[in-house]
Structure 1
Amino acid sequence: MNERSHQAIREAIRERISSGEWAPGALMPGEADLADEYQCARTTVNRALQSLAEDGLIERKRRAGTRVKEIPVKRARFDIPLIRQEVEATGAQYRPHLLLHEIIEAPDAVAARLRLKTSARALHLQTVHLADGAPYAFEDRWVNIDAAPGILDAPLEEMSANEWLLKQVPYSSGDVAFTAAPAGPRESAALDVAEGAALFILDRTTWLEDRHVTTMKLFYRPGHTLHSRV
Structure 2
Amino acid sequence: MALSEPNTWMSIREELLRRIHNRVWQPGDQIPHEADLADEFGCARTTVNRALRDLADSGLVIRKRRAGTRVALNPPQRATLTIPIIREEVQALGATYRHSLIARELGPLPPALHGAFPVARNEAVLFLKTVHFCDNRPFAYEERFINLTVVPSAGNEPFDKHSANEWLVHNAPYTHGDLSFFAVSADGTMANTLDTGVGAALFAMERITWTGDDPITHVKLVYAPGYRMRTRI
In structure 2, distance between residues paired with 1:114 and 1:196: 29
In structure 2, distance between residues paired with 1:41 and 1:13: 22
Identify the range of structure 1 (43-52 vs 103-112) with the bigger mean alpha-carbon deviation.
Answer: 43-52
User: For 1:61-83, what per-residue CA distance to the aligned partner results, in whole angstroms no more than 9, with x for missing partners?
Assistant: 9xxx8654464212222111111
| Aligned residue type for 1:18 | Q
Of 141, 145, 152, the residue aligned with 1:142 is 145
Partner of 1:29: 33
* Equivalent residues of 2:97, 2:133 under 8 A apart: yes
* Equivalent residues of 2:191, 2:198 under 8 A apart: yes
Identity %: 41
Structure 2: give runs of 5+ residues left out of the alignment: 6-10
Q: How does 1:211-230 map to 2 (within 5 A)?
A: 211-230=214-233
Partner of 1:195: 198
* SS at structure 2 position matched to 1:171: coil
* Equivalent residues of 2:181, 2:203 under 8 A apart: yes
Normalising by structure 2, what TM-score? 0.81
In structure 1, distance between residues paired with 2:97 and 2:151: 24
Partner of 1:12: 19
| Aligned residue type for 2:181 | F
* Equivalent residues of 1:200, 1:221 under 8 A apart: yes
Deviation of 1:216 (Å): 1.1
Partner of 2:176: 173
* SS at structure 2 position matched to 1:124: strand
Q: How does 1:1-230 map to 2 (within 5 A)?
A: 3-4=3-4, 6=11, 7-14=14-21, 15-18=23-26, 20-22=28-30, 29-30=33-34, 33-38=36-41, 52=55, 56-58=59-61, 68-69=71-72, 71-230=74-233
* Equivalent residues of 2:20, 2:71 under 8 A apart: no
* Equivalent residues of 1:3, 1:40 under 8 A apart: no
* SS at structure 1 position matched to 2:25: helix
Identify the range of structure 1 (154-163 vs 71-80) with the bigger mean alpha-carbon deviation.
Answer: 71-80
In structure 2, distance between residues paired with 1:205 and 1:188: 25
| Aligned residue type for 1:29 | H
* SS at structure 2 position matched to 1:175: strand
* SS at structure 1 position matched to 2:191: helix
CA gap of 1:121–1:127, structure 2 versus 1, over 3 A, is same
Normalising by structure 1, what TM-score? 0.82
CA gap of 1:93–1:105, structure 2 versus 1, over 3 A, is same
CA gap of 1:48–1:87, structure 2 versus 1, over 3 A, is farther
In structure 2, distance between residues paired with 1:137 and 1:211: 27
CA gap of 1:228–1:77, structure 2 versus 1, over 3 A, is same
Deviation of 1:90 (Å): 0.4
Deviation of 1:89 (Å): 0.1
CA gap of 1:147–1:99, structure 2 versus 1, over 3 A, is same
* SS at structure 1 position matched to 2:140: strand
* Equivalent residues of 2:28, 2:72 under 8 A apart: no
| Aligned residue type for 2:209 | T
* SS at structure 1 position matched to 2:17: helix
* Equivalent residues of 2:202, 2:225 under 8 A apart: yes
